[in-house]
Amino acid sequence: MNRLGIREIRLASGLVLLLFVLTHLTNHALGLVSIDAMERGLGWFKLIWRNPIATTLLYGAVLVHFLLGLYALYSRRTLRMPLRELAQITLGLVLPFLLVQHVAGTRITYALTGNEATYAGVIHNLWVTSPNAGLRQGLALLVVWLHGCLGVYFWLRHRPWFSQYSTLFYTVGLLVPLLALLGFAEAGKYLTAQGYEPPPRVEAALRGPIENALYLNLGGLIAATFAARLIRSYWIRSTQIEITYASGQVALVPQGFSVLEASRSANIPHVAVCGGRGRCSTCRVRVLKGLEDQPGPTPKERATLHRIKAADNVRLACQFRPVHALTVVPVLSAGRQRLLESQSRSARGREHVITVLFCDLRAFTALSERRLPFDIVFILNRYFDVVGHAVEETGGYVDKFIGDGALAIFGLEAAAQTAAKQAIAAAIRISEGVRDINRTYASELDRPLKLAMSLHTGPAIVGEMGYGPATHLTAVGDTINTASRLEGIAKDLDAELLISEEVTKAAKLTPTGLDLQSFSMRGRKAAIAAWIVRDTEGLARIFEDAAILA
Ligand code: FES
């Protein structure tokens, strides 16, 4: 079973458990209505979770999730990790101990004796008879929920749409445990006021040995996991390999470390914009010596290397785990200053849905051949002025000017819908600005300046990239390449602007009177649909919404 498969199974089992917890806590929240509502809710809860299929699924998920969690803990190369991850693992290890009494007193007792626990009985016990157990149960509720929420966060945080729905997630994450605790407290107060007396329970003698056995087994498994880590680290320390960098630095690491982990363990600066997930390719290294008999790329690494058309001796440092000594040179150089800068949020890079605007002057090379350099610089600066102002005033960021072309990014801060509208508004402004230049300098120009622009929306890796003073915030990924190719198509079609359908979908705008055509592109399996704008003069009317932004 590969690592990805294990991760997916752990996630699936975690989602089953989270669903169980969600229904259980919702049942607690019914205490805000009445104890009867809680008991009726319990009837539904049992109907869902006490049939043979759900019982098998639930017990299977508990076992699989716990054991795979321990396996993940064992597999980690290092226990150094971000605080959030440490919190999730610690909560996961503490949780079973907090739940032992509750599970033994309800589900296991029922399975062994057929004695059914009622809400009134359990809450009376936790609220009146043994409040310490009640506090422990309240803590368990918070721990299980937080552990689940962190799991969902780690799973979804890099999805392009996550930031759009994050407020909803946080609201649900806060309300569910809050309402559950309030329901529990309300029911406890009600039972106290009513002088409720629970029926005597006969299974106390049975529970003691069950709880002890559970504590012992859980503790034993966790201790065995840490012991296995110790044995493994002793073993790998005795099988270290040497990674030499072209700069002369050497990292001595245990077999199984990736080249990126080796760089980090030896404090050698190494760019890794996507954080080692094999997606951005910025960590890639050229292997100068020792590539023979090394393990080949995993499917994920192969796909990324194929996407960037890497040479045979190039590997992703974050994915490549060498088995014997080798010499490498990182393709993107990272100086000490960069490493310090990489502590900043933007330098770490993040995946973000952005709208990209490419714009270029058509046939400018021909024009520049017939003018004095001074004239060319003057006209280009007027044009750059137009582009810069249009982008910045509509909320975008000018990434770079190359020759007579420009690349601008929208959505670094704004939501995807706003970003798409801002980009359309910027294209309209650029077009108007260039028409102004043409009118103002009509006598100087042999023929009017003509634009070729493109807009495309999609996920991209955004972060600080470059070297030394040439480092700046930029974006990389398929979205940028697609936008660039759309601009080339706009030139071929003699159109002023191509707007991919992704942009209008993100902007929730439907243009009228424009042609939507599909274009196939080299290196892309699926064709891309784009609206063809021959002339942007009427565009502000077509996109009235976007024009308001402009
Ligand atoms: S860090 Fe992004 S691919 Fe390796």
Note if the pTM is more than 0.85.
no
CA angle 244, 245, 246 (to 5 degrees): 125
Point out the ligand 1 atom lying closest to the alpha carbon of residue 276.
Answer: 1
Query: Ligand 1 centre from 277 Cα, in Å?
Result: 5
Per the DSSP assignment, residues forming a β-bridge with 361 are: 451
Query: Ligand 1 centre from 525 Cα, in Å?
Result: 23
Q: For the packed helices 131-156 and 3-29, what is the interaxial angle rounded to 10 degrees?
A: 130
Query: Ligand 1 centre from 276 Cα, in Å?
Result: 4
**Cα 382 from chain centroid?**
40
Point out the ligand 1 atom lying closest to the alpha carbon of residue 282.
Answer: 2
Query: Ligand 1 centre from 304 Cα, in Å?
Result: 9
Q: Which pLDDT value is given to residue 343?
A: 43
Point out the ligand 1 atom lying closest to the alpha carbon of residue 279.
Answer: 3
Give tens-digit pLDDT for 72-102: 889 877 777 778 888 989 999 999 999 888 8
- The DSSP H or E segment spanning 500 is strand 497-500
What span, in angstroms and rounded, lies between the C-alpha atoms of 68 and 57? 16
Q: Which pLDDT value is given to residue 155?
A: 87
Count of Cβ atoms closer than 10 Å to residue 179 Cβ: 17
Give the type of residue at 119. Answer: Y
274 C-beta closer than 6 A to ligand 1: yes
What span, in angstroms and rounded, lies between the C-alpha atoms of 284 and 272? 9
272 C-beta closer than 6 A to ligand 1: yes
- Helix (H), strand (E), coil (C) string for 239-291: CEEEEEECCCCEEEEECCCCHHHHHHHCCCCCCCCCCCCCCCCCCCEEEEECC
**Cα 67 from chain centroid?**
25
Point out the ligand 1 atom lying closest to the alpha carbon of residue 316.
Answer: 4
CA atoms within 13 A on the CB side of 483: 30
316 C-beta closer than 6 A to ligand 1: yes
**Encoding tokens for residue 445?**
């120009």
> Pairing relation of β-strands 405-410 and 397-402?
antiparallel
Q: Which pLDDT value is given to residue 93?
A: 94
> Which ranges of the chain have pLDDT less than 70?
1-4, 200-205, 273, 333-349, 366-374, 467-471, 523, 538, 540-550
The answer to whether the CB of 279 falls within 8 A of the CB of 460 is no
**Encoding tokens for residue 288?**
């100068």
Q: Which pLDDT value is given to residue 345?
A: 47
The answer to whether the CB of 93 falls within 8 A of the CB of 74 is no
273 C-beta closer than 6 A to ligand 1: yes
Q: Which pLDDT value is given to residue 410?
A: 92
Count of Cβ atoms closer than 10 Å to residue 68 Cβ: 18
Residue count (the chain): 550
Helical H segments across 441-477, by residue range: none
Report the candidate in 44, 51, 52, 54 with the shortest Cα–Cα distance to residue 24: 44
The answer to whether the CB of 62 falls within 8 A of the CB of 14 is no
The residues, ordered by sequence, that sit 6+ positions from 303 with a Cβ below 8 Å of its Cβ are: none
Point out the ligand 1 atom lying closest to the alpha carbon of residue 461.
Answer: 2
The answer to whether the CB of 428 falls within 8 A of the CB of 539 is yes
279 C-beta closer than 6 A to ligand 1: yes
The answer to whether the CB of 199 falls within 8 A of the CB of 121 is yes
Which of 273, 300, 342 most suits a substitution to test ligand 1, by most atoms within 8 Å of the C-beta? 273
Q: Which pLDDT value is given to residue 244?
A: 93
Count of Cβ atoms closer than 10 Å to residue 385 Cβ: 12
98 C-beta closer than 6 A to ligand 1: no
Which of 285, 306, 318 most suits a substitution to test ligand 1, by most atoms within 8 Å of the C-beta? 318
Q: Classify 134 as helix, strand or coil.
A: helix
Query: Ligand 1 centre from 226 Cα, in Å?
Result: 29
What span, in angstroms and rounded, lies between the C-alpha atoms of 192 and 502? 59
Q: Which pLDDT value is given to residue 547?
A: 44
Point out the ligand 1 atom lying closest to the alpha carbon of residue 281.
Answer: 3
Handedness of CA 28, 32, 35, 37 (dihedral sign): negative
What span, in angstroms and rounded, lies between the C-alpha atoms of 117 and 486? 65
